[in-house]
Amino acid sequence: MQKLNIVILAAGLGKRMYSALPKVLHQLAGKPLLSHVLDTAHALLPQTICVVYGHGDETIPKTIADNELIWVKQEPQLGTGHALMQSLPHLDEKGVTLVLYGDVPLTRVETLKELITAASSENLVLLTVELNEPSGYGRIMRDVETGKISAIVEEKDASLVQRQIHEVNTGIMAVPNARLHDWLPRLENKNAQKEYYLTDIVAMATTVGVKIEAAHPCHTWEVLGVNSKVQLAVLERIYQNEFANKLLEQGVTLADPARIDIRGQLDCGKDVEIDINCIFEGLVKLGDGVRVGAHSILKNVKVEVDTTIFPFSLIENADIGKNCRIGPFSRIRPGTRLANKVHVGNFVEVKNSSIAIGSKANHLSYIGDTTIGKNVNVGAGTITCNYDGANKHQTIIEDNVFIGSNTQLIAPVKVAKGSTIGAGSTITRDTPPEELTLSRAKQMSIAGWKRPVKKEKDEK
């Protein structure tokens, strides 16, 4: 295969975002627009990837932090041709350069492969598309007789007749490097916008007999750019809709494909069911038969087969075993590992803890920095007091422990195997195995005690 260089143009101002954040750093599906383009670019296995940036300080290179990239600053920004020219020293003498835009995030790898394959040292390939509403785009001029592309005319420079053309330039193109080295320095800015138009290389190609071809995306959304929050929101919905359809096609049951948000990767086994308004972030893996209840948020979570997550549960950076029951209203925080058949119920928070097979914490508890053994029952309202105001301490609860309701376990503390803790206890020392431990004021009744009564207010 021929050498491939990729240049991503990302120096535009993005004024219509009305934001201090550079446009290409605005997020789509939980990740910057530019990162979507970079992922696509990496998938094409190019020799080099150059990103032309300009707006703002070094926020873009700092945020993206990808050391395989060549960062090229364009200042001032004098047009797309000028932008590409800044990267010229980094382009090989031979081979092909693919030009992408940092604000066009959804182009499919397959579409670009087609474009690159069609390009050669004597072929320039443009990605074009027919739009019902072409205004704002550069129009593709074709020879009336041969139908061949002869030039691109920017809307601002186009005549009324040229503006009737519906085939537009998406801006994405594959150009032979040898020609770029020749053409780019010769671009002029004699046009309505006083800019160096990259699109002018098309007319240059015609004069020297370089063939100009067009490739087309399967879907129009592949070439849509983001210039405003409105367009960003539209692309977000398109992305989510495509992802939801992919899940349905794999056999996942979605209560409503229009009400799911995936901001990362979601891998599902067979017979997975996802109710409405769930959000998946980072890397989430759901095993066969997993059910996720409505309004749940899962971030970097692995859930094994046949586990049910009931509605309104928040789970982050955790591993959940098989046949578990989580929620409703559970909060599972980072560093949690649940073995098989664990139940975590409503208003239970678990942080940086592991719970072994068959154990349950069903109501209103906080379990932090704790190791829980097998078949433990944590009563309602149990709290592991893991923080002394300065440091965090561990609680160990061994197998077959029964902890009565409303117990405080003051860490560091160990509740030994088979212990029973009486309800309402504050446990400050390790407990012996297989015994009942309780710490509780003795119940008493005071004979003849009277409730206080309100003093009568003086009448006026």
Question: Which residues are at the interface with Ca ion (CB under 5 A)?
Answer: 225
Question: CB of residue 81 vs ligand UD1: minimum separation in angstroms?
Answer: 7
79 or 287, CB closer to ligand UD1?
A: 79
Taking the C-alpha atoms of residue 282 and residue 235, their distance in angstroms, rounded to an integer, is 19
Residue 77 binds which entry of Ca ion, ligand UD1, none, CB below 5-8 Å type-dependent: ligand UD1
182: Cα separation from own chain's centroid = 41
Site for ligand UD1 in 159-178 (CB under 6 A): 168-171
Site for ligand UD1 in 409-448 (CB under 6 A): none
**Partners of residue 343 on adjacent β-strands:** 325, 360
Catalytic residue among 166, 181, 363, 393: 363
Residue that is written with structure tokens 């409703």 in the block: 328
Cα end-to-end span (Å), the chain: 101
Residue 342 binds which entry of Ca ion, ligand UD1, none, CB below 5-8 Å type-dependent: none
Binding pattern for the stretch 344-373 against ligand UD1, x by CB under 6 A and - elsewhere = ------------------------------
Nearest to 3 by CA among 208, 214, 170, 174: 174
Q: Which residue is nearest to ligand UD1 (CB)?
A: 138
168 or 380, CB closer to ligand UD1?
A: 168
For 373-436, the three-class secondary structure string (H helix, E strand, C coil) is CCCCEECCCCEEECECCCCECCEEECCCCEECCCCEEECCEEECCCCEECCCCEECCCECCCCE
Number of H helices, E strands in the chain: 7, 35
Under DSSP, the state recorded for 366 is: E
22, 102, 217, 321: which one binds ligand UD1 (CB under 6 A): 102
212 or 297, CB closer to ligand UD1?
A: 212
Q: Which stretch binds ligand UD1 (CB under 6 A): 10-18, 58-66, 310-318, 409-417?
A: 10-18
29, 60, 83, 350: which one binds ligand UD1 (CB under 6 A): 83
Taking the C-alpha atoms of residue 208 and residue 8, their distance in angstroms, rounded to an integer, is 26
Binding pattern for the stretch 109-138 against ligand UD1, x by CB under 6 A and - elsewhere = ----------------------------xx
Nearest to 378 by CA among 356, 363, 393, 358: 363
Nearest to 165 by CA among 183, 148, 153: 153
For residues 38 and 53, is the Cβ–Cβ distance under 8 A? Answer: no
184 or 315, CB closer to ligand UD1?
A: 184
6, 10, 266, 290: which one binds ligand UD1 (CB under 6 A): 10
Nearest to 404 by CA among 385, 387, 381, 373: 381
Q: Which stretch binds ligand UD1 (CB under 6 A): 37-45, 89-97, 98-106, 447-455?
A: 98-106
114, 154, 306, 349: which one binds ligand UD1 (CB under 6 A): 154
**How big is the chain by its Cα radius of gyration, in Å?**
32
Cβ-count burial 352-367 (b if 16+ within 10 Å, e if not): bbbbbbbbbbbebbbb
Determine how many CB atoms are found less than 10 A away from the CB of residue 454: 5
114 or 154, CB closer to ligand UD1?
A: 154
- Decide: is 152 part of the binding site for ligand UD1 (CB under 6 A): yes
13 or 109, CB closer to Ca ion?
A: 13
Q: Which amino acid is at 416?
A: A
Q: Which stretch binds ligand UD1 (CB under 6 A): 64-72, 178-186, 193-201, 344-352?
A: 193-201
CA atoms within 13 A on the CB side of 151: 12
Residue 349 binds which entry of ligand UD1, Ca ion, none, CB below 5-8 Å type-dependent: none
- Interface with ligand UD1 (CB under 6 A), residue total 27
- Decide: is 101 part of the binding site for ligand UD1 (CB under 6 A): yes
- Decide: is 293 part of the binding site for ligand UD1 (CB under 6 A): no
DSSP 274-338: E-TTEEEEEEEEE-TT-EE-TT-EEEEEEE-TT-EE-SS-EEEEEEE-TT-EE-SSEEE-TTEEE
Q: Which stretch binds ligand UD1 (CB under 6 A): 99-107, 210-218, 256-264, 325-333?
A: 99-107
Q: Tell me which H or E stretch contains 204.
A: helix 201-207
Under DSSP, the state recorded for 228 is: S
Site for ligand UD1 in 63-82 (CB under 6 A): 74, 77-80, 82
95, 217, 225, 293: which one binds ligand UD1 (CB under 6 A): 225
Taking the C-alpha atoms of residue 34 and residue 20, their distance in angstroms, rounded to an integer, is 16
As to burial, measured by CB atoms within 10 angstroms (0-12 exposed, 13-18 middle, 19+ buried), residue 447 is: exposed
Q: Tell me which H or E stretch contains 48.
A: strand 48-53
Q: Which residue is nearest to Ca ion (CB)?
A: 225
363 flagged as catalytic = yes
Residue 243 binds which entry of ligand UD1, Ca ion, none, CB below 5-8 Å type-dependent: none
For residues 111 and 224, is the Cβ–Cβ distance under 8 A? Answer: no
- Decide: is 32 part of the binding site for ligand UD1 (CB under 6 A): no
7, 9, 314, 413: which one binds ligand UD1 (CB under 6 A): 9
What is the binding site for ligand UD1 (CB under 6 A)? 9-12, 52, 74, 77-80, 82-83, 101-103, 137-138, 152, 154, 168-171, 197-199, 225
Q: Which residues carry out catalysis? A: 363
